[in-house]
Amino acid sequence: MIMGRRVKSTAAVLTLLLVGIVSANSYTGRRAVASATQKKASGRQLARARVLYADNCARCHGSDGRGQTMMGRGLAAPNLTDAGWWKAERPTNKRLTTSIHNGRGDGRMPAFGEQLSKSEIAALVALVRRFNGK
List, for residues 11-34, the tens digit of each pLDDT value.
554 454 444 544 444 444 444 444
What pLDDT sits at residue 119? 94
State how far the Cα of 29 lies from the Cα of 20, in Å rounded to an integer. 8
Under 8 Å between Cβ of 80 and 65 = yes
Residue 47 identity: A
pTM comes to 0.67
- With H, G, I as helix, E, B as strand and everything else as coil, classify residue 66: coil
Instruction: Output DSSP code: residue 109.
Output: S
Per-residue pLDDT of the chain (134 residues; tens, 9 = 90+): 454 555 455 555 445 444 454 444 444 444 444 444 445 567 888 899 999 999 999 999 999 999 999 999 999 999 999 999 999 999 999 999 999 999 987 888 999 999 999 999 999 999 999 998 65
